[in-house]
């Protein structure tokens, strides 16, 4: 399936693009190479086979977004469902590059408890151990959405924990997962392996 990343760019170390929901995607990812590697690359001593060290577990999900239905909602509704403004700022006005402050909003009056980002990452201190880098797809007006792609070194702590939490989120009524799978991305070679195991 062909995918695109409209408005693809790097800002403050994060790869950003425009999601099929028209929101900026990528703000919640880590910004440094060390953090990206720490969340995504299998390390020695993690209990994985030695040939897996230096590789990454990838999850792909083909998620259709009911764009006609979504596009009928007001921007304010879409932002409350997402939990961020379209440009990535938080709903309390804080810049996109800052961590979320949910502690002062326990009832979810500013950022609803069932919004996408608050369900995916309810505790701003413990970011989900995964790195997302997706593509948009467009196979005609009835089939548009996200080729969701994420990398992690532990499927249970990464994708599976987040996906379980997302059950019942406000965005769920707009999405339908039609395909996908789990993949292993092997390490690129000995030089890379030496570099990450040495430090
Ligand atoms: C069509 C489906 C989806 C749409 C439209 C969508 C959209 C978004 C948007 C706009 C953001 C905020 C910007 C950002 O941090 O990237 C976001 C954040 C996030 N999404 Fe999704 N997403 C979708 C599916 C998923 C799935 C399937 C997962 C994981 C199972 C997921 C996990 C996350 C996580 C972990 C964050 C960051 C939360 C944070 O750290 O603040 N998303 N998503």
Render pLDDT for 2-40 as a digit per residue (tens, 0 to 9): 999 999 999 999 999 999 999 999 999 999 999 999 999
Report the pLDDT value the prediction gives residue 124, as an integer from 0 to 100: 84
Protein residue whose Cα sits closest to atom 38 of ligand 1: 117
8, β-bridge pairs: none
Query: Taking a C-beta distance cutoff of 8 angstroms, is the pair 61, 160 a contact?
Result: no
Cβ(169) – ligand 1 distance below 6 Å: no
Per-residue pLDDT at 58 exceeds 80: yes
Question: In whole angstroms, what separates CA 103 from the centre of its chain?
Answer: 22
Burial 70-95 (b: 16+ CB within 10 A, else e): beeeeeeebbbbbbbbeebbbbeeee
Ligand 1 mean position to 117 CA, how many Å? 6
Query: Taking a C-beta distance cutoff of 8 angstroms, is the pair 91, 180 a contact?
Result: no
Cβ(21) – ligand 1 distance below 6 Å: yes
Render pLDDT for 80-110 as a digit per residue (tens, 0 to 9): 999 999 999 999 999 999 989 999 999 999 9
Cβ(84) – ligand 1 distance below 6 Å: yes
Protein residue whose Cα sits closest to atom 33 of ligand 1: 120
Structural domains of the chain, with CATH: 9-198 (3.30.70)
Q: Which of 148, 167, 169 to mutate to test the pocket of ligand 1 (most atoms within 8 A of CB)?
A: 148
Per-residue pLDDT at 181 exceeds 80: yes
Cβ(117) – ligand 1 distance below 6 Å: yes
Render pLDDT for 59-83 as a digit per residue (tens, 0 to 9): 999 999 999 999 999 999 999 999 9
> Which DSSP string corresponds to 58-114?
EEEEEEEE-HHHHHHS-HHHHHHHHTB-TTS-BTTS--TTSPP--TT-TT-SSS-TT
Query: What length is written for the chain?
Result: 199
Render pLDDT for 116-127 as a digit per residue (tens, 0 to 9): 999 999 998 889
């Amino acid at each position: 399936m062909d995918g695109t990343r409209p408005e693809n760019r790097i800002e403050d170390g994060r790869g950003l693009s425009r999601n099929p929901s028209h929101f900026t995607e990528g703000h919640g990812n880590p910004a440094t190479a060390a953090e990206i590697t720490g969340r995504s690359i299998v390390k020695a001593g993690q209990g994985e086979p030695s040939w897996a060290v230096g590789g990454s577990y990838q999850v792909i999900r083909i998620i259709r977004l009911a764009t006609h239905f979504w596009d009928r909602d007001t921007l304010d509704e879409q932002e409350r469902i997402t939990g961020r403004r379209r440009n990535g700022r938080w709903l309390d006005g804080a810049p996109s590059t800052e961590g979320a402050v949910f502690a002062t909003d326990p009832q979810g009056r500013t950022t609803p408890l069932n919004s996408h980002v608050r369900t995916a990452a309810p505790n701003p201190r413990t970011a989900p151990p995964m790195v997302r880098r997706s593509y948009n797809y467009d196979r005609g007006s009835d089939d548009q959405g996200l080729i969701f792609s994420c990398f992690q070194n532990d499927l249970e702590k990464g994708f599976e924990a987040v996906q379980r939490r997302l059950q019942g989120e406000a965005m769920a009524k707009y999405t339908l997962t039609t395909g996908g799978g789990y993949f292993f991305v092997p390490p690129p070679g000995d030089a890379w392996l030496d570099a990450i195991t040495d430090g």
